[in-house]
Amino acid sequence: MRIPGHPTLIRRMRDSRLNKLATAGPLVAATLVQAEVRCGNPACRCRKGGGHPTRFLTFKRNGKTKSVYVPKHRLAEVKRWVREHRGVKELVREISELTMELMRAEERALKRRR
Domain spans of the chain?
7-113
Q: What does the pLDDT read at residue 84?
A: 94
Contact 10, 98 (CB under 8 A): yes
Mean pLDDT for the stretch of residues 61-77: 96
Q: What does the pLDDT read at residue 24?
A: 77
Whole-number average pLDDT of the chain: 91
Give the Cα separation of 84 and 90 in Å (integer). Answer: 10
Q: How confident is the model at residue 49 (pLDDT cuts 50, 70, 90)?
A: confident
Angstrom distances, CA of residue 23 to CA of 19, 49, 85, 91, 101: 7, 46, 13, 12, 24
